[in-house]
Amino acid sequence: MLKKTADVLIIGAGAYGLSCAWWMTQEHNDIDIMVLDGGGFAHGASGRHGAGMRMQWGLEFNILLCQESIRFFEEAAERLDYPEGIDFKQEGYLLLAPNEQTMSNLRSAIKIQHKFGVPSELFTPEDCLKLVPSLNLEGLAGGSFCSKDASASAFKWLDALLKASRRNGAKIEFNTMVNRIERNGNDFIAHTNKGTSVTAGKILLCTDWAVPQLIEPLGITLPIVPFPKEILVTEACQPIIGPMLVDMERHIAINQVKNGNIVFTVTRERKREYSLKSTPGFLNYAAQNILELLPGIGNIQVLRSWCGTSGETPDMQAILGETDIPNLFVAVSAYKGFMTSPAVGRVVSRLILDEEKDNPLISPLHPKRFQTGKLVPEPLTNQAVTS
């Protein structure tokens, strides 16, 4: 039984896990950080999403976390010493509102965003059309646009974090699943499916929908429910869609990435379970909805579709903080992992390493809110739309 030790063991090498590992090793060279992931590179939700990032939210903490993150993404190539870059594209996000009620929500959100210097503006349908000439205006009441919102390659982001963290001395292992955590005095022992064990002074759980199964044996519950979503990507084509589009009626997020491929995240009702399976009805459902919104793109070819699972929480917000067990932390994103990972890495790593124990920025996202009932639902989106 091989015993390894670490000062901090991070379980899950997705966007949150790797970002925390990087921040910890970047700001400290005297602590041992280990990251274990049960799958291969980018196997989880961090490798399966639409890869957009926006500051346009209705709640302060989301606005600030995303704003700080986008600033980091702008300089990611330098900060992580990743010369090839992360395919960063900054042409904004256009949120499309189907009715006056949504327009009203957007208006309120913009007021709050402006408090923090977010350059967002309310758009008429004609403004939307000017920005995206291929849009179908039918059923569109208007929108909200922020030019600093952006997108990047999720894979290059993860690779940059992985390489930089390893250069900093973090030990990162893939295909090693922690299947049981046991308390050992003030420390923990994490047992893996390879028959090895890791003793650690602190554990950070970044396994998203899989967090509950690791903490339940320790007597902690957190309301994280797996929710699978499917997504499709087209061939690379001429740039026709500049900003990332979020259709709040049809629950589609559309991202024409730097290479020219168009990624469509289409949310539809599905059984709440962990799944990577493609469903028979998805492509037709997605294609019909996409062509309603962008009628002229019928000739563009779909290259691939896939499925990923992330976790839902009751208010669809992240869970960041220390659990009831001292030194056992969670960082779960509720479908906003990629876009908040730079900032979350910073605040959570400082939280864990005792530097910023009570950061007011993330206190609304503490796990205890589910006991106190202080949920913080995001006014700008409903349950289903998460991009």
Partner 1 sequence: MKQRNSQVNERTGCFAQSSTNTVTFFFEGKLIKAKSGDSVAAALLEAGELILRIDPSGSPRGVVCGIGVCWECRCIINDVPNTRACQTEVRPDMKVLRQREDL
Partner 2 sequence: MKSQVVIVGAGPAGVMAAFEAVKYGCHVTLIDESPRIGGQIYRQAANGIAKRTNIVQKEQDRKKILMAAFEQISDRIDFLPEATAYAAFPGPELHVTQHNHSFVFQPKVLILATGVSEYTVPFSGWTLPGVMFAGGVQALMKEYGVCAGKQALVAGAGPLSIAVGAQLVEANAKVQAIALLNPLSDMTAKPFSLWAGRQMIREGFTYLKKLKRSGVPTLNRWRVIRAHGKDCLKAVTLGKMIRNGQAVPNTEKTIQCDLLAVNYGFSSNSELARMFGIEVVFNPEFGGWIPQLDVFGGTTAKGVLIAGDCGGVLGGVAAAARGSIAGATAAKKFCGKAVDQTTLTAAFAELKRHQLFQKAVRKTLHIPFEVYELLDPETHICRCEGVSLERLQQSIDEGHHTINAIKRNTRAGMGRCGGRVCLRSVAALLNEKRKLTEIEPMTARPVARPVTLGSIANQSNCEGQG
Shorter beta-carbon distance to partner 2: residue 10 or 181: 10
Q: Which of residues 199-238 bind partner 1 (CB under 8 A)?
A: 235-238
* Interaction partner, residue 278 (partner 1, partner 2, none; CB < 5-8 Å by kind): partner 2
Among 290, 320, 331, 351, binds partner 2 (CB under 8 A): 290
Q: What is the DSSP letter of 89?
A: B
Nearest to 18 by CA among 211, 123, 159: 159
Shorter beta-carbon distance to partner 1: residue 186 or 301: 301
Q: Which of residues 76-135 bind partner 1 (CB under 8 A)?
A: none
Please report whether residue 237 would count as binding partner 2 according to CB under 8 A: no
Instruction: Pick the stretch among 13-21, 60-68, 156-164, 326-334 that binds partner 2 (CB under 8 A).
Output: 156-164
With beta carbons less than 8 A apart as the criterion, state whether 328 and 188 touch: yes
Task: Give the contacts of 204 (CB within 8 A, at least 6 positions apart).
Answer: 8, 9, 10, 11, 17, 20, 329, 330, 331, 348, 352
> Pattern of binders to partner 2 over 191-230, x per CB under 8 A?
----------------------------------------
Phi, psi of 245 (to 5 degrees): -110, 140
Distance CA 111, CA 116 (A): 9
With beta carbons less than 8 A apart as the criterion, state whether 25 and 221 touch: no
* Interaction partner, residue 370 (partner 2, partner 1, none; CB < 5-8 Å by kind): none
Shorter beta-carbon distance to partner 1: residue 284 or 299: 299
With beta carbons less than 8 A apart as the criterion, state whether 361 and 232 touch: no
> Pattern of binders to partner 1 over 232-251, x per CB under 8 A?
---xxxx-------------
CB of 262 to partner 1, least distance (A): 13
Phi, psi of 264 (to 5 degrees): -115, 115
Please report whether residue 42 would count as binding partner 2 according to CB under 8 A: yes
For 97, the enclosing helix (H) or strand (E) is strand 93-97
Please report whether residue 298 would count as binding partner 1 according to CB under 8 A: no
Distances 313 to 23, 166, 175, 253, 330 between C-alpha atoms, Å = 26, 32, 27, 20, 13
- Could you list the residues that contact partner 2 (CB under 8 A)? 40-43, 47, 155, 159, 162-163, 174, 234-235, 278-280, 283-284, 286-288, 290-291, 297-306
